[in-house]
């Protein structure tokens, strides 16, 4: 994807936005409000299923989308 206003190109990668912790434990991993790529989730050992992510016994509600990684100019 190219943003002509910025004269920059980005590689789009699948990602999720952490909306809330689904359990009563709060957010012990400080993920709510953050965006993580699917690759980062795999590296963390998180399990993704539809609109949820489970990381170290904590369930999170997420919104799926994309994140742009800047390409060299």
Q: What is the pLDDT along the chain (73 residues), one digit of tens a residue?
A: 999 998 899 999 999 999 999 878 789 999 999 999 999 999 999 999 989 999 998 999 999 999 999 999 8
| Strand intervals (E) in 1-73 | 2-3, 8-21, 35-37, 47-49, 52-55, 58-70
CB 14 within 8 A of CB 37: yes
Q: 65: domain range?
A: 2-70
11: nearest Cα among 73, 71, 72: 71
Residue 15 and residue 66: Cα distance in Å, rounded?
A: 5
Residue 73's Cβ-side half-sphere holds a number of Cα atoms within 13 Å equal to 3
Domain count, the chain: 1
């Amino acid at each position: 994807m190219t943003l002509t206003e910025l004269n920059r190109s980005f590689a789009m990668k699948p990602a999720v936005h952490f909306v809330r912790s689904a359990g009563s434990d709060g957010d012990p991993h400080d993920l709510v409000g953050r965006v993580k790529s699917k690759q980062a989730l795999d590296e963390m050992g998180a399990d993704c299923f539809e609109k949820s992510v489970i990381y170290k016994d904590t369930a999170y509600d997420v919104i799926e989308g994309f994140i742009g990684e800047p390409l060299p100019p």
